[in-house]
């Protein structure tokens, strides 16, 4: 990103300093206590619409951003409206089965082209003036645009008025977009995660129909920060802490921009002596005990367990309102039988209860940032490294 792309940073949104980390092991980046005397992001990072606009121009434009699930647009002609930080996007499955992303606006007057999921039998048609587009984005017709019964006029360049494409790539069932088109290949971006979880055959995953979704009155970053630390488990999540205690958690490295933590204690759900299928080829102790969680910068949180996979995303609707979505995948066709539905719903129920407990804390964190005495807070050097690192990534992305 060149200096020309960066607007002058306002003085009231001071960035935190970025100390050089020291590497003391092959697995864990250790940031010393002195570094944690730095404050975190200022209150305006959570309460300012201007700050969110800067995030739209940088964080949500120049990085790979999770936008949806490919299985939501499974068939040729399927169209799904989506948003990235308020920017309207359309996911389109074209006639050849290729998944594409476009800015969800008509090239004529900027009308939102699609406002609900649909399957298009012919072409995408703007309901305002009936401009139509092929599913590959080409402009097909512009009725009366040159005058009554004249679809064109001399000098009108139809080829330049197609839908505006967005770079779009897929990993597993997860769809990512790169608005600015300047990120590295998605596989390279996700390589640390892919390598970390190479033991798991993620191709076995099958999507569960039931999801968890909600809207909370808090900035999107607070949801990410909450997911990235286990410090609060003892006091906020008594049920979760009884099966995966704060002290059972550990942190690990997943490249330069993603952060990870795991739990050494995980218990699969059991009903009448039955439990769900687990990933093959996991060592016995790993199969029974370990769960790991990765925050993929900026807006995606993933969790791998011996018997299921969690996809947890956030999307800012405004500077103080966030939409959360949790999707779940289980291991193999056998897990998806009607007989196993109750078993599949056990972890979903636990995540829903846990998230409900988190929401109150996140919304109160948001309220606290309206205090003139909030100074960025401070961080536990052992338990909140991931939060500090995530805030550093945001600060660097928008202004350094």
- Measure Cα distances from 229 to 4, 95, 194, 263 in Å: 36, 44, 22, 11
SS (H, E, C) 19-55: CCCEECCCCCEECCHHHHHCCCCCCHHHHCHHHHHHH
Answer yes or no: CATH 3.30.565.10 is held by domain 187-399: no
How much is the pLDDT for 115? Answer: 96
Neighbour-count burial of 56, counting CB atoms closer than 10 A to its CB (0-12 exposed, 13-18 middle, 19+ buried):
middle
CB 146 within 8 A of CB 155: no
- Look at residue 252 and give its three-state secondary structure: strand
* Rg value, the chain, Cα: 23
Q: What are phi and psi of 53, to 5 degrees?
A: -60, -40
Domain ranges of the chain: 65-169, 187-399
Look at the block and give the residue holding tokens 């003139």.
Answer: 372
**pLDDT 10s per residue in the chain (400 long)?**
333 333 322 333 333 333 333 333 334 344 444 454 567 999 999 999 999 999 999 999 999 999 999 999 999 999 999 999 999 999 999 999 999 999 999 999 999 999 999 999 999 999 999 999 999 999 999 998 888 998 888 888 989 999 999 999 999 999 999 999 999 999 999 999 999 999 999 999 999 999 999 999 999 999 999 887 655 555 455 655 555 555 566 778 889 899 888 887 777 788 888 999 999 877 655 555 688 999 999 999 999 999 999 999 999 999 999 999 999 999 999 999 999 999 999 999 988 988 888 889 899 999 999 999 988 887 767 766 788 889 999 999 998 5
How much is the pLDDT for 289? Answer: 65
Residue 60 is classified by DSSP as H
- The CATH number of the structural domain formed by 65-169 is 2.102.10.10
CB 123 within 8 A of CB 131: no
Give the global pTM: 0.86
How much is the pLDDT for 14? Answer: 36
Helices (H), 107-207: 186-196
- Which of 242, 269, 240, 244 is closest to 328 using CA atoms? 269
How much is the pLDDT for 125? Answer: 96
How much is the pLDDT for 226? Answer: 86
């Amino acid at each position: 990103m060149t200096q020309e792309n960066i607007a002058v940073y306002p003085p009231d949104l001071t960035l935190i300093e970025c100390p050089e980390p020291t590497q003391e092991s092959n697995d864990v980046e250790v940031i010393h206590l002195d570094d944690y005397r730095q404050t975190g992001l200022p209150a305006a990072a959570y309460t300012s619409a201007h700050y969110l606009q800067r995030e739209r121009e940088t964080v949500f434009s120049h990085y790979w951003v999770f936008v949806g699930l490919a299985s939501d647009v499974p068939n040729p002609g399927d169209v799904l409206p989506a948003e990235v930080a308020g920017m309207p996007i359309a996911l389109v499955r074209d006639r050849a089965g290729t998944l594409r992303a476009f800015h969800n606006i008509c090239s004529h007057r900027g009308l939102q082209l699609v406002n609900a999921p649909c399957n298009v039998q012919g072409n995408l048609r703007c309901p305002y003036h009936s401009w139509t587009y092929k599913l590959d984005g080409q402009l097909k017709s512009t009725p009366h645009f040159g005058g009554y019964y004249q679809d064109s006029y001399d000098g009108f360049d139809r080829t330049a008025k197609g839908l505006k494409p967005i770079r779009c790539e897929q990993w597993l069932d997860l769809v990512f977009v790169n608005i600015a088109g300047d990120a590295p290949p998605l596989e390279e971006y996700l390589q640390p995660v892919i390598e970390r979880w190479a033991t798991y055959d993620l191709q076995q995953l099958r999507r569960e129909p039931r999801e968890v979704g909600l809207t909370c009155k808090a900035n999107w970053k607070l949801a990410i920060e909450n997911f990235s630390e286990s410090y609060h488990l003892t006091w906020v999540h008594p049920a979760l802490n009884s099966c995966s205690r704060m002290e059972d958690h550990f942190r690990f490295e997943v490249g330069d921009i993603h952060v990870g933590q795991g739990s050494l204690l995980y218990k699969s759900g059991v009903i009448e002596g039955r439990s769900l299928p687990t990933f093959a080829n996991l060592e016995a102790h790993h199969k029974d005990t370990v769960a790991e969680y990765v925050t993929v910068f900026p807006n995606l949180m993933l969790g791998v367990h011996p018997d299921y996979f969690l996809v947890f995303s956030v999307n800012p609707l405004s500077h103080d309102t966030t939409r959360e979505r949790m999707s779940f995948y289980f291991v193999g066709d056998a897990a998806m039988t009607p007989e196993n539905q109750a078993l599949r719903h056990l972890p979903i129920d636990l995540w829903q209860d846990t998230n409900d407990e988190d929401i109150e804390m996140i919304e109160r964190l948001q309220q606290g940032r309206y205090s003139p005495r909030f100074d960025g807070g401070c961080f536990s050097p052992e338990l909140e490294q991931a939060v500090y690192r995530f805030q550093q990534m945001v600060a660097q992305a928008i202004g350094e």
